[in-house]
Amino acid sequence: MGAAVGKGPRGYMAEINVTPFVDVMLVLLIIFMVTAPMLTQGVDVDLPKTRSVRTLPAGSDHLVLSVKKDGSIFLDEYNVPFEDLRQHLQNLVISQNKQLYLRADKDVAYGVVVKVMGEIKSVGIEKLGLVAEASDEQKAADKAKPKTPAK
C-alpha cells in the first residue's frame, strides 16, 4: 500500500516502481554476459596445425606468451618489448608460480621463436607449453568419434 498525498483520486503516490529498473538491469546483465568472453580472446595469432591438440586449461593459473607475425611479443594481451621480456617473466611467471604457454604465428621466423624460447629458458622456466590448432583431419576424426555419456 502506498501513501497517497493530496486529496481525491488524483493524489500523488509515494511508491517507487522498480519494474523498469529491474528490466534495464537484466538487459545490461545479459549484454555483459555475452560480450565479456569476447573481450578476453587475447592476441590474434594464426597458429600452426597439428594432429594431437589438447585445449588450454581454464583458470588463471597460466599465462600465454604470443608472438605475432611481425615479431611483436604479447604476455596475455599486453605488448612486451623483447628487452623487457625477462623481467616480466620473472615477475609474472616465476614469482607467482604460473604455467607458461607459447603461441607463435605459423609465419614467424624460426629464429624469432628460438630467441624467445631461449629467453624463457634463461629465466628458469623449465615447463613450457606450446599452443597449436587441431588439423582438419583431427577435427574430422573428433567429430566422427561416438560420444560416451559421462559416468
pLDDT bracket for residue 151 (50, 70, 90): very low
Question: Which 3-state string (H, E, C) describes 50-61?
Answer: ECCCCCCCCCCC
Residue 71 lies inside a defined structural domain of this protein: yes
Do 54 and 114 sit in the same domain of this protein?
Answer: yes
Say which residue, 137 or 109, is predicted with more confidence.
109
Residue 149 lies inside a defined structural domain of this protein: no
Calculate the average pLDDT of the chain: 78
CB contact at 8 A, 66 and 93:
no
pLDDT bracket for residue 8 (50, 70, 90): low
pLDDT bracket for residue 23 (50, 70, 90): very high
CA 122-124-128 angle, 5° bins = 95
pLDDT bracket for residue 17 (50, 70, 90): confident
How many domains does one find in the chain?
2
Average pLDDT on 116-129 reads 87
CB contact at 8 A, 119 and 89:
yes
Residue 61 lies inside a defined structural domain of this protein: yes
Do 72 and 131 sit in the same domain of this protein?
Answer: yes
Beta bridge partners of 5: 12
Do 127 and 61 sit in the same domain of this protein?
Answer: yes
Residue 25 lies inside a defined structural domain of this protein: yes
Tell me the residue range of the domain where 117 lies: 49-137
Residue 147 lies inside a defined structural domain of this protein: no
Q: What is the C-alpha to C-alpha distance for residues 119 and 47, in angstroms, rounded to an integer? A: 21
Do 11 and 83 sit in the same domain of this protein?
Answer: no
Average pLDDT on 21-27 reads 93
Give strand ranges (E) for 40-89: 49-50, 62-67, 73-75, 78-80
Query: Per-residue pLDDT tens for 45-101?
Result: 666 666 665 666 666 678 888 999 888 999 888 899 999 989 988 888 888 888 888
Say which residue, 133 or 2, is predicted with more confidence.
133
Do 35 and 56 sit in the same domain of this protein?
Answer: no
For 133, residues 6+ apart whose C-beta sits below 8 A from its C-beta are: 47, 48, 49, 50, 53
